Structure 1
Amino acid sequence: MELRIPANDSRVTQFVLLGLTDSPALQPILFVIFLLAYAATVGGNFSILAAILTKPRLHYPMYFFLGNLSLLDVGCITVTVPAMLRQFLSKERSIPYRACLSQLFFFHLLVGTDCFLLTVMAYDRYLAICQPLTYSTRMSWGIQKASVSMSGVFSFAHAVTQTVALSSLNFCGSNVINNFYCDLPQLFQLSCSSIQLNEQLLFLAAFFMGVAPFVLITLSYAHVVAAVLRIRSAEGRKKAFSTCGSHLTVVSIFYGTGFFSYMKLGAVDASDKDKGIGIFNTVISPMLNPLIYSLRNPDVQGALKKMLMGK
């Protein structure tokens, strides 16, 4: 495959995604692996969603948020993996300029909503364990819907801002992206105009959607740990920690991969390590989330078993 590099006086109308490998022998193997990962992610997340919808025992705020998180995980992997599977089947790796921006927009929309939703889930655990007497009023059905809606609104504003700002850049040099999907760091490296404003916008987004939620989650769980340690019963402490352990695991994976994805904005060249981080962020994390929640949550385990057995 010949990679086109437009002349400096022409504007880029499409990008070329290098993907994960150029080896013809590896492409069928990777196709099967990522197809199975996609099927497992969709199946696992929809199974949890079905269990939450059909089992009255799971009709609580924590599981309402978990159901929305499952939908976001399915959307996140759908934005990137089907396009990557198409690349494995054909030699055509180009992606139109507008399609690249669309992929960028939906990826940041879903990931941003995920970020805010994880923060709401931490606040839910704080209320349930530290403020149980006021939990039903402070986490009512209306507040639950408003929390999810506002998470989507804030993330939509972020995705629109980043996409519009990126569309103002000029791409008149190389159009080759050393990755399997379109994202800000790689596109910044290809711009032939100043990206100072874009980096500032991304820095602000990192604060409001990364640092601030992470601090709120940390504070919430600091109060939760202090409250759980005051419980005299070992069984009570175990039950309280079991409802928080899965969420903390998902938060650690989410923020860990996000940190490594955007910490090297000033790097000149993208490396294969960035592809590995991208795989973990867009494929492995959404695939692990249903497994983490089902393994560490007895209520979800019981609901899934009853649903699979037809009871």
Structure 2
Amino acid sequence: MGGDGRLAVKSIMTQEGNVRYAGDRDHDIAVKIGKRSTLEISQNGQDAVVATGVFSVLKNMERYLRGEHFTSATGIHQASDITATLDSGDTGLPNEDTLQDGTFTVTVTDFSVYPPRELDFRIAVDTAEDSLVDIAARINGIPGISASWNDGRLTIESADPDRYSFTLTEHSSNFLQVAGITQEDMQIQALTSTVEELDAVMNELNDRIADFGSRANRITVQNQLFDNLELAARENLSEVQDTDLVEALMQFKSRETAYQAALTAAARTLQLSLVNFL
């Protein structure tokens, strides 16, 4: 509470790939070594786990297994002429003769709001009037979605994968089947890509685990060092505290007498040497 009566709140929440982390992102756990030094023994949850993207990858895998919320898809069938009308027989797509007038639906999910908002866009197919380019142009008109023919294959992508995802539903045109971009085709592509991402994330997590292991080893070494220092200090203190004062004074007096005798002998020797010199 500030002096102006307003409540100041510092948010420590972050959201990555629609996975929310509400822990402390600024502080790592550290132990105090001595009076002034500290040794970090772990990282905060954001840096150690969330930043690897593991939760986002697992969430995407769950969605793809359910057949929903795709962010990209590429048709497995290749066209030779994307400008030919669909009923001309010149598109080069397999089973193009099964195309018929009808529709298919593109469902777009917008994650910028909560709860996420879904919008359905029905794409009409007129085999006598439309070409493959025309169909892609209609899909392009959907907010947050782009479509194009690349090397004869239809590619549909989210303009902002963190915000928009999509699913495709066939109704009566058979277009998705002919283009090779059905629900099953998209699932296979998305899961294959996600498995590759998961492998990369697992490698990164292994690196983090190795880092934690090295931190633990450093703590063990520090503990051993301080144990040794403590033992040495106790031994030194014991020698001081356990000294027999009477015996120490007697030894001191004896050494003092011997020292004085040595000084007297040296003085006499010096006097004789001086007399001989004179």
Q: Higher strand fraction: Structure 1 or Structure 2? A: 2
Q: Which has the greater radius of gyration? A: 2
Q: Higher helix fraction: Structure 1 or Structure 2? A: 1
TM over 0.5: no
Q: Structure with the greater relative contact order (CA < 8 A, sep ≥ 6): 1 or 2?
A: 1
